[in-house]
Amino acid sequence: MTTKKSSRLSGFHHLSMAERQQTVSGFATDGSIAPLQDGGLSDDLCDRFVENAVGRFALPLGVATNFLINDVEYLVPMAVEEPSVIAAASNAARMVRASGGFTAVHPPSRTVAQIELRNPHSSVEALRPHIERVIQLANDTQPQLLKLGGGVVGVELRENVGGPNRHVVHLVVNCLDAMGANMVNTMAETVADFCAEKCGASAGL
């Protein structure tokens, strides 16, 4: 939660749970913290999220106060069962904010898909003239990711990895806010045979 209000909530831990909920609701964009009270997961959502869903597992949800990050006030939700963790985080944030708060940077998120080429008959460099085609084939599998500004941002070629009978191709993918394992796996599976063909190899893992 971010807001123009101050996250410096002195004595917050002395309030009743109902009073804390009321205070936190003032930080929510729509003024509602209902998902924090009921867990935010219906049976239908649980069933869609995982296989063989049978219910939900609850943990206490608290907020760490006092966080000032890049000059923005934050209440940090924390679902933990260990006493004093939230208090310690809040206390540390209180001390840090006295000198201006935290400064954070977010490096670009990249996920790498690896393609193994076994028993190649030519150098992995034989693939270099076809890199643009590799990128196109991979990106064609994820039109929504491409539309949102993500996709393959590079292809790395590695020669004789672990011996002369194995080349490796890396697809470097900007998955935006997704972790991207399924996306990059689909990309790798799609271009593996094409890469293998250009190197006279067979596609491995």
Whichever domain contains 168, its CATH number is: 3.30.70.420
| Across 181-205, average pLDDT | 96
* pLDDT tens digits for range 136-151: 999 999 999 999 999 9
Residue 22's H or E segment, with its range, is helix 17-25
Q: What is the pLDDT of residue 4?
A: 67
In this predicted model, which residue has the larger pLDDT, 95 or 5? Answer: 95
Q: What is the pLDDT of residue 41?
A: 87
Same domain flag for 28 and 84: yes
Does 166 fall in a domain? yes
Position 143, amino acid: P
- In the Cβ-directed half-sphere of 158, how many Cα atoms lie within 13 Å? 14
Q: What is the pLDDT of residue 26?
A: 83
Boundary of a domain, candidates 69, 97, 125: 97
Q: What is the DSSP letter of 130?
A: G
Q: What is the pLDDT of residue 186?
A: 97
Does 102 fall in a domain? no
Same domain flag for 7 and 89: yes
Give per-residue burial for 47-59: e unless 16+ CB within 10 Å, then b: eeeeeeeeeeeee
Instruction: Supply the range of the domain harboring residue 18.
Output: 2-97
- Would the pTM count as exceeding 0.85? no
Same domain flag for 190 and 124: yes
Same domain flag for 34 and 120: no
Could you give the number of structural domains in the chain? Answer: 2
Q: What is the pLDDT of residue 130?
A: 97
Does 105 fall in a domain? no
Does 104 fall in a domain? no
Boundary of a domain, candidates 97, 124, 152: 97
